[in-house]
C-alpha cells in the first residue's frame, strides 16, 4: 500500500484496502462518510489544538520572558555580568535536554493527560518564584528547575498530536500550536510593556512582576488542564463511539500507529532503531542549526531592537510585528506543506529566509534595514521549526521509534539553544553582534544543505521501496519493520 500517494486527508473517499491494512486492522473499515470525516477532525481541532497551543504558548513565554526582564533591568538589579546572564540561560538547557528523551518514552505509559499538566503546573510554580529571586544564585536555581520541568513539553506535544492526527494532517496542527511561540514573542512584548509599569508595587521591580503574573497564569492553567486533556482518541469524551473508531482506523491506515498493541508498546530495540535512522540524524543536525537561530532570536530580540536606539519600553513594542508576521507565514506554510506534501522544500525555503535576514543585518548599518531583517530571520526560523518537527514525526514508526526520533530532534534543538545563549550573550558584542550574525548566517546555509540532503535521501528510499512493492508482496515481508517497510512511504 502506497500510503503517501493513495491516502490523503483532503480526499478521504479514495481510501483503499489491501493485505497490510487487513493485517493491521482485522475489523472492517468504517463506511466512508465525508461528513463524518469533517466532523471528527473539526472536533479534535476545537478541543485538542487550543489546549496544546496554550501549553506551548505558556512554555515559550515562561522560558523566554527573561529576555524582556533583562531589558527591564533584571541584569542590573541582580548585579549580573553578561557572562552570568549567559550562564543563567545555559543552566535552563542542561536539565531541559536531559529530560527530553525519558519524558517522551514515559509519556504514553504515564498518560499524557497526567504528565503534561503536571509539568505545566510545576514549571508555573518555578516561573513565579523567579519574581522573588533576590540574587543571581537564586535565579540560577529557578532556571535549572524551569528547564527540568519544561524539558519534555515540546517533543511531548508533537508526540501527543501524532496520536490523534494522520501524518499528512499533522503539520498544520503542529504549526497551529508552534505558532504560539511566534505569538508569544509578540504577546510577551506587549505584556512586558504593560507589566513593567507595575514597578514598585509590593516593593517589587517591574521585571519581577513579569515573572510573577505570567507564572501564576501558567500554574492555574496547569491545574485546569487535568480536566480537559484526553489521554488518547479512545478516551475522548467529545467523540462518540463511531467517531473514535474512525480516528483509530485512519491512524492505522496512514501508518501513524503500529500494527498492533505489542508493536506499539515500549521496546528498547525500537529506541536503538531510532538512533540508526539516517533521516533522524540529518534532521537532528538541521534541528541544531535552527535551535541556535530560534533561541538566539527568542532571547535577544528585545536587546537587539534596543540596540537600534529604542528605549526599553519601545523595544518591547517593536518586537511584536516580526513575530506577528512569523505567525501568519508559518500557518500559510503549514497549509502548503500538508496540501502539497513538501516538508523538505518548505524547510529549504525557511532557511533561505534566514539567510536573507542575517545577510541584511550583517551587511547594513542602517537601523531601519537591520530592523526589517528581523522580519526575514524570525519568520524563517519560526517556519522551519514546525516543519522540521512534523517531518521528523512523519518518518519514524512505530510509537517508541517515533517518540525517540522526536526527542533526538529536540535534544539537538536545545543544544543549539545553549550555543545561542553564549553567541549573543557573551561572545559577540552588542549592538552589532557581528560574530553571532556570521555564525547564524552560516548555520542558515547549512540548514538548507542538510534539509536538501534529507529530501534526496527520502526520495531515493521511496524509489527503492516502490521497486520492492512491484516485485514482491507484503506477506513475504518480515513483520515489525516499521518505517523500514517497503509499504511505508516516507513523507518528503
pLDDT by 10s per residue, the chain, length 492: 333 333 333 333 333 333 333 333 434 555 567 888 899 999 999 999 989 988 988 887 888 788 888 888 899 999 999 889 889 988 988 898 999 999 988 988 899 999 999 999 999 999 999 999 999 999 999 999 999 998 888 889 988 998 899 887 887 888 877 776 667 666 777 777 788 778 888 888 989 998 999 999 999 999 999 999 999 898 899 999 999 999 988 888 776 554 443 445 678 889 999 999 999 999 999 999 999 999 899 888 988 999 998 887 788 789 889 988 998 999 899 899 988 989 999 999 999 999 999 999 999 999 999 999 999 999 999 999 999 999 998 999 888 899 899 999 999 998 998 999 899 878 888 889 999 999 999 999 999 999 999 999 999 999 999 999 999 888 888 888 889 999 999 999
Query: What is the number of residues in the chain?
Result: 492
Q: How far lies 342's CA from each of 13, 17, 129, 336, 475, in Å? A: 22, 25, 43, 8, 31
| Other beta carbons within 10 Å of 228 | 14
Q: What is the pLDDT of residue 3?
A: 36
Q: Are 66 and 214 in contact (CB under 8 A)?
A: no
Q: What is the pLDDT of residue 302?
A: 85
Handedness of CA 52, 54, 57, 59 (dihedral sign): negative
User: What's the rounded Cα separation, in Å, for the pair 108 and 106?
Assistant: 6
Question: CA nearest 225: which of 137, 160, 312?
Answer: 160
Q: What is the pLDDT of residue 37?
A: 87
In degrees and rounded to multiples of 5, residue 29 shows phi and psi of -70, 145
| Other beta carbons within 10 Å of 5 | 11
8-state DSSP, 423: I
Please calculate the CA angle 69-72-76 and round it to the nearest 5 degrees: 95
In degrees and rounded to multiples of 5, residue 299 shows phi and psi of -85, -30
Q: What is the pLDDT of residue 420?
A: 92
User: What's the rounded Cα separation, in Å, for the pair 26 and 17?
Assistant: 11
User: What's the rounded Cα separation, in Å, for the pair 441 and 372?
Assistant: 16
Taking the whole predicted model, whether its pTM rises above 0.95 is answered as: no
Q: What is the pLDDT of residue 261?
A: 39
Amino acid at each position: 500500500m502506497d500510503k503517501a500517494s493513495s491516502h490523503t486527508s483532503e480526499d478521504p473517499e479514495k481510501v483503499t484496502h489491501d493485505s497490510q491494512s487487513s493485517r493491521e486492522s482485522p475489523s472492517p473499515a468504517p463506511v466512508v462518510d465525508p461528513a463524518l470525516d469533517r466532523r471528527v477532525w473539526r472536533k479534535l481541532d476545537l478541543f485538542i489544538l487550543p489546549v496544546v497551543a496554550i501549553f506551548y504558548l505558556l512554555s515559550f513565554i515562561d522560558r523566554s520572558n527573561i529576555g524582556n526582564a533583562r531589558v527591564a533591568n533584571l541584569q542590573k538589579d541582580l548585579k549580573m555580568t553578561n557572562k552570568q546572564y549567559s550562564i543563567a540561560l545555559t543552566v535552563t538547557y542542561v536539565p531541559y535536554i536531559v529530560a527530553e528523551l525519558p519524558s517522551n518514552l514515559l509519556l504514553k505509559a504515564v498518560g499524557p493527560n497526567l504528565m503534561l499538566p503536571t509539568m505545566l503546573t510545576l514549571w508555573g510554580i518555578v516561573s513565579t518564584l523567579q519574581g522573588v529571586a533576590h540574587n543571581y544564585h537564586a535565579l540560577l536555581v529557578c532556571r535549572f528547575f524551569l528547564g527540568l520541568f519544561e524539558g519534555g513539553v515540546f517533543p511531548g506535544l508533537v508526540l501527543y498530536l501524532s496520536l490523534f492526527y494522520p501524518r499528512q494532517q499533522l503539520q498544520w496542527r503542529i504549526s497551529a500550536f508552534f505558532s504560539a511561540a511566534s505569538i508569544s514573542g509578540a504577546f510577551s512584548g506587549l505584556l512586558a510593556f504593560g507589566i513593567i509599569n507595575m514597578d514598585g508595587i509590593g516593593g517589587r521591580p517591574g521585571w519581577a512582576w513579569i515573572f510573577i503574573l505570567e507564572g501564576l497564569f501558567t500554574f492555574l492553567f496547569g491545574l485546569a488542564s487535568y480536566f480537559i486533556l484526553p489521554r488518547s482518541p479512545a478516551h475522548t469524551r467529545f467523540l462518540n463511539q463511531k467517531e473514535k473508531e474512525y480516528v483509530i482506523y485512519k491512524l492505522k491506515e496512514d501508518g501513524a500507529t503500529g500494527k498492533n498493541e505489542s508493536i506499539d508498546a515500549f521496546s528498547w530495540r525500537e529506541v536503538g532503531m531510532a538512533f540508526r535512522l539516517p533521516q533522524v540524524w540529518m534532521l537532528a543536525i538541521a534541528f541544531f542549526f535552527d535551535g541556535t537561530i530560534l533561541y538566539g532570536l527568542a532571547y535577544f530580540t528585545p536587546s537587539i531592537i534596543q540596540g537600534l536606539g529604542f528605549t526599553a519600553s519601545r523595544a518591547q513594542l517593536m518586537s511584536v510585528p516580526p513575530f506577528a508576521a512569523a505567525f501568519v507565514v508559518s500557518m500559510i506554510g503549514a497549509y502548503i506543506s500538508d496540501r502539497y506534501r513538501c516538508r523538505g522544500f518548505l524547510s529549504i525555503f525557511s532557511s533561505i529566509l534566514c539567510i536573507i535576514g542575517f545577510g541584511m543585518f550583517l551587511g547594513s548599518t542602517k537601523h531601519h534595514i537591520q530592523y526589517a531583517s528581523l522580519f526575514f530571520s524570525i519568520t524563517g526560523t519560526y517556519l522551519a521549526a514546525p516543519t522540521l518537527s512534523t517531518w521528523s514525526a512523519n518518518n519514524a514508526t512505530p510509537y517508541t521509534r517515533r517518540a525517540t526520533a522526536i526527542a533526538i530532534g529536540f535534544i539537538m534543538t536545545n543544544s543549539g539553544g545553549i550555543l545561542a545563549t553564549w553567541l549573543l550573550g557573551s561572545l559577540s558584542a552588542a549592538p552589532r553582534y557581528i560574530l553571532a550574525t556570521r555564525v547564524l548566517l552560516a548555520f542558515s546555509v547549512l540548514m538548507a544543505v542538510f534539509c536538501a540532503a534529507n529530501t534526496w535521501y527520502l526520495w531515493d528510499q521511496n524509489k527503492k521501496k516502490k521497486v520492492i512493492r512491484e516485485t514482491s508482496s507484503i506477506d513475504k515481508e518480515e513483520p515489525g519493520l516499521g518505517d523500514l517497510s517497503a509499504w511505508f512511504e516516507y513523507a518528503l
